[in-house]
Amino acid sequence: MKTLIIDDNLNAQEFLEDLLKVCGKDLTLLGKASNIREGKKLIAAWDPELVFLDVEMPDGTGFDLLQQIGDINFKVIFTTAHEKYAIKAIKYSALDYLLKPIDSNELIAAIKKVQAIEEQKLSQLKINSLLQNLGANSTQTQKIVLRDKYGLQVTTVQEIIHLEADDCYTKFFIKDQAPIVVSKPLKEYEALLPKEQFFRCHKSHLVNLDYLLRYDKKEGNMIILKNGNQVPISR
């Protein structure tokens, strides 16, 4: 994969370049840039397949660069030293990121993930969701990218009715559609989704309180949701 590094920290650039020599033998590093302006020129010149993109730079953010480019035909792995609000937007969009200082095992895992995305339009879908999330004025209008065995689905947080644990998988019950099963555990989504809106009522269930219809103790401590589903409550 033709690869670029865009990062304002020269030490971080060199550190990642050294790691790629060991951990990224399937990648060909074509160039490095230290800001958005240089990064745009490099992308136009080399037409990369993968870009390691720093989140915060002197002349803006990596997100600004993506918005300025518009039609993005490469895959992205974000790099950052700051685990702030932007990380949640990246996670919502199912994009890969690495926290600095970058760990070699995490780098290898991230490279394998982007290599597994065969269709460029899937990568574009994730990036579009990220950019929309960054402009969203509430968590309810934010979009989350879910991967099941058939591909990717984008849904708004508000459309998620409830989630159910199924071993290492999570079943999503989404408004006006059949449930989908995602290959991530429930605890990951509990940490990601807004706590003021999603309530862990049981070890296997996370419910969107906007869909709460009633609490029914006659049926054995159950939550009745607006879609008719009954969800147990732990004592």
115 and 155 assigned to the same domain: no
Q: Which CATH number do you get for residue 151?
A: 2.40.50.1020
- Domain total for the chain? 2
pLDDT tens-place string over residues 211-233? 999 998 876 789 999 999 999 99
**Predicted confidence (pLDDT) at residue 139 exceeds the cutoff of 90:** no
Lowest mean pLDDT among 47-56, 64-73, 138-147, 223-232: 138-147
111 and 155 assigned to the same domain: no
85 and 181 assigned to the same domain: no
pLDDT at residue 220, as a whole number: 78
pLDDT tens-place string over residues 70-96? 788 899 999 998 877 688 889 999 999
* SS3 per residue for 138-195: CHHHCEEEEEECCEEEEEEHHHEEEEEEECCEEEEEECCCCCEEECCCHHHHHHHCCC
Q: Which CATH number do you get for residue 17?
A: 3.40.50.2300
26 and 57 assigned to the same domain: yes
pLDDT at residue 136, as a whole number: 74
Query: In which domain, by residue range, is 167 found?
Result: 139-232
**Predicted confidence (pLDDT) at residue 143 exceeds the cutoff of 80:** yes
Rounded to two decimals, the pTM is 0.88
128 and 152 assigned to the same domain: no
Domain end among 105, 135, 165: 135
**Mean pLDDT along residues 93-114:** 94
What strand order describes the sheet that includes 198-202? 180-182, 169-174, 160-166, 205-208, 198-202
State the amino acid at position 167 in one-letter form. Answer: D
Domain end among 112, 135, 158: 135
